[in-house]
Amino acid sequence: MGRVTIFRLEITDQANEVSLFSAFSGQRGQRSGSGSDGTVAVVTASDAARRLELLDDFEQAGIGWIWATDAEGRLIYMSENAATRLGQPVDILLGQSLSDLFEVDPENPTAKSDRPLKFQLAAHKKIADLVVRFINGKTRSAPDQTWWLISGHPKLDADGQFLGFRGSAKDVTVEYERQLADSLLAEYDSLTGMANRHRMTRRLDTTLAAFKEAKRSCALVMLDLDRFKQVNDTMGHPAGDTLLKMVGERLASIVGKRGEIGRLGGDEFQIILPDIEDRGALGELASKIVQFVSQPYPIDDKHAVIGTSIGVAIAPYDGLDREELVRNADLALYAAKNGGRGQFRFYSDDLKDEAADRQTLLDELRNALENEELALHYQPVVRVSDNVVVGCEALMRWDHPERGSIPPSTFIPLAEESNLINRLGEWALRYACIEAAHWPGAVRVAVNVSAVQFTDDQFVDIVADALSKSGLEPSRLELELTESIFLNDSETTDSVFSRLKQLGVSLALDDFGTGFSSLSYLRSAPFDKLKVDRSFVDSCTTKDHNSIKIIAAIIGLAEALGMDTTVEGVEAFDQLELVCSKGAKYVQGWLYAKAIPNSELVERMEAGEFCIVPNGPDRFRPERRTMFRRIGIIHDDHRYEAIIRDLSIVGARIEGLLGVTQGEQMVLDLGKGQLVVATVTRTTERDFGVEFETPLVNDGAGGLCTRHRVSPYALAAAGMPLAALGSSSIAIFPRSEAPKSPPKFVEVAVSAGARAA
């Protein structure tokens, strides 16, 4: 057998000091360079010509190539065969920066480093087995990409001065693209092509770690699909798969390049949004996602309709690591689902106990129904031409013995999730028919019907029985339905519509314009009325808003289809004037009357009050939430404690401070890092009103919050004037020195029972 000789080649180019190179050659029998007696002619260190010949043979064989740079990172040597493989003359490549020719693949999940090549070269450290892509103006999706595996060592002179890199390279295109294909299977969802749970977990870990160091924020959005199981069960799993793909496409069109979307499995999706902590922008994005995802999906000549619920948590405010942030986003999602679905929620600390509280409330609702603790109140619907009452909407009320008045928006979703809604809805229908039977014959009663009730096999029989036992004329009963009834089987829906119309009852489509608003529903369903949702009325008087245009369009559409229209939520004369100018004929809202008990309604009817003269403010003002909440107020270098009594999007009413004058500027500390710059607009002996520099935004739970919060990172910075803040805010640091000026205001005690006029 021939000997195996290992060569250690130290190759030196007189001009460029080419790097050390190692190679081995297996010798079996007589070889080129062997002596006539069979001995091996060893290539010695002094035989420069033969060493260069071996280097040329090595480079030409394509086993690997050599490259070298100067101290500025510019190529001073590259194997000619390597340049040929890149499709470039070597003279063109030499002199260019290595980092301009190659880049590290940022999407490689197995890469040893995710730092740019330019950064690694600038560090003057050893580079080992780094996969890079030849750029040359090509995009990442180019079909003829070239991938190299490079290694390099820094070259230093006798004084330790950096001279450049000396390195080797080999083409790994085939192997790397196979690895990419394998990583796609491991990192991406095979159905939607989106990132899977494994990839999203890794990306969130790395993002939060990097952002913590850089003191940056990152929002995490969790969502799952409402009623997706119903699509799978009724249309089959292939239809469900198609639906998931379409949902993914819609999410991608909404989110765009702002973040990364992943499908975690089933109907669960996750969105990572770096550098977004503006809760106003996040709320707008979440609302848009809810709206777009809820639009019908054409599948196999049918229309599948689903919804989505969304939970949002933001680092660093709601968590610093992945586990905490995901857990809190899940809690927010759970709250959104339990709040009635088709909603979004921001995480807050009080969500942690919400599950147990909701179960307690559900048990108490069952008891309230059994013990007849529920009641119906009625809100008049008025004909604006003569202010005559033409009907009343039955609204459920629950006066809890300990919790006080609980709004329907809280307990109706609970009833729907537990199937208690059928019993609750039947009770409301029967009770409303009995009470309305004693009203004047011209007045109708409207009863809300949930989608769960509508799909009950006994629903039409229950309606017929309620009419029969109460003696109410069918034409005086109006059933208010929402577009969610169309989520069910169309044949069943059409059958229920037909049977209800045979009974002679009227049908109204409630909350029109806020849901799917498909014109096909109006074409196929026998509605007699459209109800314009109050959300459009609330904003119709604001500048540069499309709400009034939408109201006008709905009224025009209803007239074209021979339907009536009722505009809900009119509370001020400027709103009334505006909707009437667009053709509104029937109005419902506080400007005419709030919902009142049946006894009061009957008393007014017996007194002949079938007309209601509108009475209310000239201009609509955003709703103010009455409360008794302790807040902090920062003025100059002092912090005061005060009580906020009323809160709206644009301002607040505050008690507990004396000496406040109009025009004063202050900062309100609403807690949890929420700071609001405000100006005092009015003062009295008891309180003062402020106007916010930046309006508050919807928190997704019917409350208000600031767009931004003071970051814990910012509070940790030294020398900020926020030292005057108290413990009610996050991560507050103690005052470093005494105040430089005397306090301007005087704190006074305020009790919760004090007058809140």
3-state secondary structure of 396: strand
Q: CB neighbours of 49 closer than 8 A, spacing ≥ 6?
A: none
**Are 536 and 396 in the same domain?**
yes
Output the six-digit token pair for 409.
């928006």
Asked whether residue 213 carries a pLDDT value surpassing 70, the answer given is yes
Closest CA to 322 of 199, 204, 196, 203: 204
Among 107-121, 142-156, 259-273, name the one with the lowest average pLDDT.
107-121
Does any domain span residue 697? yes
Average pLDDT value over all residues in the chain: 82
Beta-bridge partners for 148: 132, 171
pLDDT band at 755 (very low <50, low <70, confident <90, very high): very low
**Are 156 and 230 in the same domain?**
no
Asked whether residue 586 carries a pLDDT value surpassing 70, the answer given is yes
pLDDT band at 742 (very low <50, low <70, confident <90, very high): confident
**Residue whose structure tokens are 């000496």:** 659
pLDDT: which is higher, 286 or 402: 286
**Before 109, cis peptide (omega within 30)?**
no
Does any domain span residue 681? yes
pLDDT digits over 403-424, tens only?
788 888 778 878 877 778 999 9
Q: How far is CA 605 from CA 162, 438, 439, 575, 599, in A?
A: 97, 10, 8, 27, 10
**Are 371 and 471 in the same domain?**
yes
Closest CA to 337 of 329, 545, 546: 329
Terminal-to-terminal C-alpha distance of the chain: 107
**Are 254 and 337 in the same domain?**
yes
pLDDT at 65: 87
Does any domain span residue 620? no
Does any domain span residue 158? yes
pLDDT at 15: 37
Contact 457, 490 (CB under 8 A): no
Give the helix/strand (H/E) hosting 430.
helix 421-436
**Are 121 and 38 in the same domain?**
yes
**Are 363 and 504 in the same domain?**
yes
Does any domain span residue 457? yes
Say which CATH number the domain at 282 has. 3.30.70.270
**Are 159 and 97 in the same domain?**
yes
Among 102-116, 534-548, 695-709, name the one with the lowest average pLDDT.
102-116
Q: Tell me the residue range of the domain where 708 lies.
A: 625-747
Helices (H), 188-227: 197-214
**Are 290 and 341 in the same domain?**
yes
pLDDT: which is higher, 56 or 381: 381
Asked whether residue 718 carries a pLDDT value surpassing 60, the answer given is no
Asked whether residue 30 carries a pLDDT value surpassing 50, the answer given is no
The domain boundary, picked from 606, 634, 659, lies at 606
3-state secondary structure of 326: helix
The radius of gyration of the chain from alpha carbons, rounded to an integer in Å, stands at 36
Contact 397, 405 (CB under 8 A): yes
DSSP 8-state assignment for residue 268: E
Dihedral sign from CA coordinates of 100, 101, 107, 108: negative
pLDDT: which is higher, 540 or 326: 326
pLDDT band at 624 (very low <50, low <70, confident <90, very high): low
Contact 470, 483 (CB under 8 A): no
pLDDT at 225: 93
Where does residue 223 rank: exposed (0-12), middle (13-18), buried (19+ CB within 10 A)?
A: buried
**Are 128 and 230 in the same domain?**
no
The domain boundary, picked from 148, 179, 210, lies at 179
pLDDT at 739: 59
pTM of the model: 0.59
pLDDT band at 724 (very low <50, low <70, confident <90, very high): very low
**Are 599 and 641 in the same domain?**
no
Does any domain span residue 308? yes
Instruction: State which amino acid sits at residue 455.
Output: T
Does any domain span residue 204? yes
pLDDT at 111: 58
φ/ψ region of 577 (left if φ > 0, alpha if ψ in -120 to 50, else beta) reads alpha
pLDDT band at 296 (very low <50, low <70, confident <90, very high): confident
**Are 570 and 541 in the same domain?**
yes
Say which CATH number the domain at 734 has. 2.40.10
Say which CATH number the domain at 156 has. 3.30.450.20
Instruction: State which amino acid sits at residue 34.
Output: S
Q: Tell me how many domains the chain contains.
A: 4
Does any domain span residue 617? no
pLDDT digits over 444-500, tens only?
999 999 888 888 889 999 999 999 999 999 999 999 998 777 766 677 788 899 999
**Are 224 and 343 in the same domain?**
yes
Give the helix/strand (H/E) hosting 497.
helix 490-503
The domain boundary, picked from 142, 160, 179, lies at 179
How far apart (Å, rounded) are the C-alpha atoms in residues 328 and 331? 5
How far apart (Å, rounded) are the C-alpha atoms in residues 734 and 93? 60
Strands 260-265 and 218-226: unpaired
